[in-house]
Structure 1
Amino acid sequence: MHLLSPKQVFRIVSILEAITWSGLLLAMGLRYLAQQEVPFFFAVGLAHGFVFLAFVVVTVIVGLNQRWGLGRIALVALSALPPYVTIVADVLLERRGMLAGGWRTEATDDPRDAHPLDRFLRWWLARPWLLATVVVGGVVGVTAALLVIGPPGG
């Protein structure tokens, strides 16, 4: 049984993404004003990067569940790049009814349900705790790899 709907999951992560943008912008402003490193800048940047990656993954999962096209999934994922646009995306998707409904955990008469990607998605959605664990673990792994690689531009 799922505790949260696709709309609720998307909303939570889109709001978290906007909150971490606020923290990052504040830290960057303080760093600029102080003309020196701000002690919490690394932690805020790390949190923002983690939530950014989580937003992209959640967008893909919700988009596949809601049967958005690939272009829409990509456009919504890209809404995390400018500050606060994830909130705009959330509002627009809800107004258009594109976040309505529950998780598609069982096949229906819809011929699209026979597609291998839909079957794969249903398998994961039927195991929400496993999916959440894999998503969080994957985002942690990618975040750790990016930390090892280092910031863009050296």
Structure 2
Amino acid sequence: MPLDLKIFRVVAIAEACSWAGLLIGMYFKYLGGGNDIGVAIFGPIHGALFMAYLLAVLVSARLHSWPLKELLIGGICSVPPFATLWFDHRVMKRFRAQRDADVPAPGEEPKRATADV
């Protein structure tokens, strides 16, 4: 797997985990007695991971020539809680399918790049 997709995957999962921490912190702040330490801790972490996720989407879209629609879906998935996990699954599924299509079947010759002469 290319390094950019590995980074994308780690950031997408971390962003979802930070959502969980932020939501738990918001519960305790607004419904559980007014303790805002969870929001104070996870708010900045989530903000940084949110920005890192958007950057990872942009970089991966550029390097893998994603269509504009895919780029927009990736960006929109940064907003709802845990949607980055769904988008990560979508990207990895597409990557595996593309990788498997490039692998020759048993007994088949490998595909070779041809140069225009």
- Could you tell me the TM-score, scaled by structure 1's length? 0.58
Structure 1 residue aligned with 2:26? 28
Instruction: Give distance in 2, aligned partners of 1:6 and 1:89.
Output: 15
CA deviation vs aligned residue, 1:72-95 (integer Å, no higher than 9, x gap): 112102101111111111111111
TM-score of the superposed pair, with normalisation by structure 2: 0.75
Give yes or no for contact 1:63–1:73 (8 Å, CA) kept in 2: yes
- Answer whether contact 2:21 2:38 (CA < 8 A) is retained: no
Q: Secondary structure at the match of 1:48?
A: helix
1:58 partnered with 2:59: no
Q: 1:56 to 1:22 in 2, by over 3 A?
A: same
Unaligned runs of 5+ in 2: 100-113
Superposed, 1:139-154 pairs within 5 Å as: none
Amino acid paired to 1:5: L
Structural RMSD (CA): 2.2
Aligned to 1:86: 84
Check if 1:77 corresponds to 2:92. Answer: no
Match of 1:105 in 2: none
Q: Give, in whole Å, the separation in 1 of the partners of 2:14 and 2:69.
A: 23
Matched, 1:42 2:47: no
Provide closer, same or farther for how the CA distance between residues 41 and 99 of structure 1 changes in structure 2, counting only shifts above 3 A: farther
8 Å contact kept, 1:7–1:100? no
CA contact (8 A) 2:24 2:38 kept: no
- Number of aligned residue pairs: give it: 99
Q: For the residues of structure 2 that align with 1:100 and 1:10, how far apart are their CA atoms?
A: 17
4+ residue segments displaced more than 6 Å: 98-101
